[in-house]
Structure 1
């Protein structure tokens, strides 16, 4: 399948590292002009240099902490309109359920959910006016199979599925598609830290990964962590003209983790 996104502008939130950076690289590789977002200019510029060195493409800087009104406006000013919006920004971590206080619940909701709502509310009208656009939300298997050690994170990802479906209805019949991508346990730097919170820190990474999957994610049919590029492949497809009939969906790139025929 040849995917050509030439002439399209994409914004990937939280794209200086991990899944977001892989998505930015994938979209650029398909020909899109990609806006890279992070909280500060230095991290964005460093990420753009890495992306350019790794595979090339056209990247523009869109720094700003989109969990704040001011940061969101900075991104809007840097990228006035986009054709492809990928709401990737998210935080995660483990905590005993009864020890998560109100401020932490709010922080997860505001960072993982409200930022995506803010970005969609700003960019979706322009897509509708132009009769073409793609909005995506990077959700998680935790939205469906909520881990006991991170229910605040699971809550935020479940909320994203509702947000995605709702905005898909708002865009019905306009030529704009809206979807969620349910990512399974993925190998990123942050996840390595998380894994070592739950298994012996003295284990080499490959052994630690296998121990984590056996003890904490035994449902995975892959029986390994997913690489960020594997998530990016689905995102690039959903951004393409070939995915024009896929909207309102929650598509799984979870390694078979969720034991369900439907998400």
Structure 2
């Protein structure tokens, strides 16, 4: 299968590191005009340099801005008025149960993880529907289905993304626009690496080994018995953004290594 996104404009929010960077790299490699986003210009420039090292002739553009705010989303829509592909990857995570998660924490998860995707989709979906082609992807998580009690607000926000994506799909019915959610499981992202770096040093192990230990201890239902790489997650997203995925819409597509123990 050869995925060709030439002539398409793609926006990947929060694409300066981790899964977002891998997605932007994959989409750029397929030929799309790719907008790389981060809050700081230095991070955007660094991400573009990284992509240039692996993709020979990408068409890249950077946008530095905080897309968790209405002002940031408005600024992006002015800078990039039209897009064919929108990947809502922006998100935050962290520990917090029902007792320790404050009202401000709940509001932050909602604004960053949920409303960023709502605002961006609202800004670009109508144009996609008018042109009879488009791809919208929400990067959710297996935590949307396996709600972690110690990351409650995060799990809630990821479940909300599934509901929103499914509802938008129905509104875009028959227009040639697909809307899907992709659910990664434990992934060797930059955030995960930073989280376990001290543990790896203390135990004299590689980050990859600590990742395997984490999956086997905390995600015992995993079938691959290891974290995924960012590229493995990105591969699913690039496919969902492709013309070949025209009959895949309204779906919650798991790249969780089998963590979610269900056949549905």
TM tier relative to shorter chain: over 0.9
Q: 1:127 aligns to what?
A: 128
Q: Does 1:237 align with 2:239?
A: yes
Task: For residues 26-64 of structure 1, give each alpha carbon's deviation from its aligned partner in whole angstroms, at most 9, with x where no partner exists.
Answer: 001111110001112221111111111222311111221
Q: Does 1:258 align with 2:248?
A: no
Please give the secondary structure, in 1, of the residue aligned with 2:64. Answer: coil
Report how far residue 79 of structure 1 moved: 1.2
Partner Cα separation in structure 2 for residue 38 and residue 240 of structure 1:
24
- Which ranges in structure 1 are unaligned for 5 or more consecutive residues? none
Q: Does 1:28 align with 2:28?
A: yes
Q: 2:3 aligns to what?
A: 3
Task: For residues 233-256 of structure 1, give each alpha carbon's deviation from its aligned partner in whole angstroms, at most 9, with x where no partner exists.
Answer: 111111111111111111111101
Partner Cα separation in structure 2 for residue 193 and residue 45 of structure 1:
21
Where in structure 2 are the equivalents of 1:16-165 lying within 5 Å? 16-56=16-56, 57-165=58-166
- Which ranges in structure 2 are unaligned for 5 or more consecutive residues? none
Where in structure 2 are the equivalents of 1:132-211 lying within 5 Å? 132-195=133-196, 202-203=202-203, 204=205, 205-211=207-213
Q: Is the 8 A contact 2:223 2:259 kept in 1?
A: yes
Partner Cα separation in structure 2 for residue 178 and residue 74 of structure 1:
23
Please give the secondary structure, in 1, of the residue aligned with 2:186. Answer: coil
CA-based RMSD of the aligned residues comes to: 1.4
Report how far residue 94 of structure 1 moved: 1.4
Partner Cα separation in structure 1 for residue 166 and residue 179 of structure 2:
7
Please give the secondary structure, in 1, of the residue aligned with 2:164. Answer: helix
Q: TM-score, length-normalised on structure 2?
A: 0.95
Partner Cα separation in structure 2 for residue 55 and residue 181 of structure 1:
24
Number of residue pairs aligned between Structure 1 and Structure 2: 261
Please give the secondary structure, in 2, of the residue aligned with 1:255. Answer: coil
Report how far residue 194 of structure 1 moved: 3.2
Task: For residues 197-256 of structure 1, give each alpha carbon's deviation from its aligned partner in whole angstroms, at most 9, with x where no partner exists.
Answer: 8x6761222332222112211111111110011111111111111111111111111101
Report how far residue 196 of structure 1 moved: 5.7
User: Measured at CA, do residues 207 and 49 of structure 1 come closer, stay the same or move farther in structure 2, by a change above 3 Å?
Assistant: closer
Report how far residue 121 of structure 1 moved: 0.3
Report how far residue 96 of structure 1 moved: 3.6
